[in-house]
Structure formats: structure tokens, C-alpha cells
Amino acid sequence: MKKIKSIKNGLFTRNIGLAKMAFGVGRDFISKRDTDFAQNILDTLETHSETITHELGLMKGSVMKAGQALSTYLGEYLPDNVKKLLSTLENQSYFLDWETLKKQIPNTYFDKLDFDPNPLAAASIGQVHLATDKSTKEVYAVKVQYPGIKRALNRDLFTIKLILNSMKVIPQKLDMSAIHEEIKEMLYQEMDYTQEFKNIKRFEELLENDPNFKVIEPIQEFSTTDILTTRFEKGHSLRSDEVAGLSQQQRNKLGECFLDLFFRELFEWGLVQTDAHFGNFLIQTDKEHPNWVLLDFGATKHLEGDFLKHYRNMIKAVVLQDRPLFFESFRQLGRIENEQSFDQELIWEYLEVMGSPFQFDSYDWGASDISDRAMSYLPKLLKNLPEGKAPKDTVFLDRKVASVFYVLKQLNCSFNAREIFSKYI
């Protein structure tokens, strides 16, 4: 990690940083538009990886989250040098100087806690430092929000929208206003540590009797809207040698539990932690049966009513390969305004790919080529999006579905995914 004195949070400095990335990356990408889409992305990232990671690390916030998404969704297919750079964005990127960050912490905390000035993790919205309780000697992880990061949010969203429009990534026939509003609302929610505290407590209740998961324990005394303190938990990242060295049976069990958790969130609780990038989890390997540690609940969505029913049916339709059910649910969600404005055959071909892991008695996630196959559909899907207004509430759920697949691939596990889903039909 590299130390910095301040976060780029001014309108001018952030726009300059974004423009620097967009100019070089966009120019290269557009110049190769006639080449293979997936390879074009990889080549462009490799050429500009140092500029991208440097600028995202300095800015943090919503734009850094975009870098984390690149690391998660393209990580396995990137050249080693690019993979290494982007993986630092998960929790080990540029960190803010302690003398600057500690001004965000109430003075009363220092009477009771001894802080380690060296960060444990440096994420997109906040930085984590270990602190020892002077009276009990317990060790806490204290997440402190970066100064000025909320002020930068609207500026980022406005600038990113301009960049996407100028690059003509999204077809003009699709109204993205609801999607932009959904992204804005979720980012604001992630910056509200009081809400995240409540989400953690709820997941603690839901998983209290499940030995496969440990939810970090929040500490009310040292938590505010901008500071979230939890009991410190040790563990290993998904990319670590310790996790890679687990037996096949252990990795299979971890994978089964992770997929089952997603289905419980969606089909039983209506409460989904939608950000499954690798920095939000640890795996404890010091037992016969390794378990998950769940670290971050900022991007948690509460779902209900007709929306939840129709989204569940869409997932069910993809798993069971039920085409009529999918398009009826798609229609009920408001995703279709003009039946003639898109290619249903193309969309269903794509969904057959996404549902393929559930068609086997045992699916090898480590050897999965779903990412490659899905990427090959992306240019055609973008050109054939339904005409009308893109619906709110689905973008982060769709992200969760994709990221679950990437976690399972990283685990290199094999199991019967259809059998797990069958409990929720």
C-alpha cells in the first residue's frame, strides 16, 4: 500500500483524473471496435492498467468501486501484471495518512482505544485500522470514512454518465435514468454506517446457528454514521495460498454454502448483500471445516412485494430453463415496453449459458468458461436491449448473481448446484 496525504475529492481534480483515464482508455477501445470485444477490453486494460489503478486509488469512492468490479469480473482472464494491480483495489490500495484520517475520529475514542496508525485495509469509502480496548484488551477493526467522500459522489456520477454517453456504450433508445438513480441511492446507503450496523445485526440473527458463517460483531459504543467498529476477525482472502491449498472437499463445501446463502437471501429473507467482491469476505482455515467470515453489509438491499416475486421467478426460470416464465416475469418487472425492439432469441441464448451450471449433477466451477461465453454476447446484447426505460432495483441484484459465479470460480470448487437450488423452488 502507498500513503497519500489527501483524497481527490474536488470537482476539478476528480474530473481531471477521470478524464485522464477516459481519454486514453476510450481512445484505444474505440480504435479497436472491430476486433474481438473481450480481447479488446483485456488489451486496453493492459495498456492503461497503471494509470487506471493510480487514479482510482487517489480518488476512492464510486469510481474505485468500478475498479473493484473489474478486478472481480475480469480477474482470472487478465495478464498477471494487470491482475496484480487491479487486485490491490480490493482492500490494499493507496491509504490516507493517519494524521489526516484520525481527525475524523471523536477525541473520546482515543481515551479508550489504542489505534494502530498503519491501516489494515484501505477500501473505496473508508479505511480500516486496528484498535485495542485499553480496559478489556479486545481488538477491534475500526472503519473510518474518508473525508469529503460524500461530497464527491454526485460529481462522480455526473462525470461517469458523460463519459459513457460520449463513448456511446449504452444505446440511446434505452433510458438509463432509473439505473443512475439506483446507483446513487445504493452508494449513499453504503456511506451510512448506521444503516450498515443495522444490516450486520440482522444478518447476525439470521445466521447465528449456522457454523459455516461468521458475521463480524459490531460494537455500538464506537460506531457512528461515519465510523463502524467491529470485533476483529482473522482469516484469509479468496486469492490466498491458504485457501488454494484447502482440499477439494473443503473447497466444494465452501462453494455449496456460498451459493446456498445467496438463495436464502433471495428466496427466504428478501435481504441480499449485493456486493460480493473478494475483499468483502475472509475464510478461516484453522478448523477441520473452514468457514466464511462476512465483512461488509453496506450494499444490502431489502426486497419485497411484486418486485421480489417477479425477480425470484426470473432466477427460477434461468435455473430451470423455463423460457415462458422468464419473459413473463421480465415483462411484469417492466423491462419490456416494445416487444419488437429486441431479440428474444439472443437473450435466451445468453440465459442458457448463465443457467448451464444447474444442468449437471456436478459442475466444475474452476474450469467454467461461462465468463468467456457471456462476454462474447455482451456487444450483441448491448445493441439489442429492449426499448424504453431501464427499471430500477435490479442492477445490484444482477451484479450479485454474476459475482457469486466469480467467487465460486475463484474457489475452484465442484458440486451439484441444481440440488442446492431445489430446496427453494
**What sign has the CA pseudo-torsion 159, 164, 168, 170?**
negative
Q: Tens of pLDDT along 120-129?
A: 988 778 899 9
- Other beta carbons less than 10 A from residue 208's beta carbon: 9
Q: Tens of pLDDT along 284-317?
A: 998 889 999 999 999 899 999 999 999 999 999 9
**What sign has the CA pseudo-torsion 267, 272, 274, 280?**
negative
Per-residue pLDDT, 14: 46
| Bigger pLDDT: 11 vs 377 | 377
Per-residue pLDDT, 13: 47
DSSP 8: -
d(CA 289, CA 342): 48
Is the pTM higher than 0.85? The answer reads no
DSSP 144: E
Q: Tens of pLDDT along 341-381?
A: 678 899 899 999 999 999 999 999 999 988 778 877 877 77
CA torsion angle for 131, 137, 138, 139 (degrees, to 10)?
30
| Bigger pLDDT: 288 vs 268 | 268
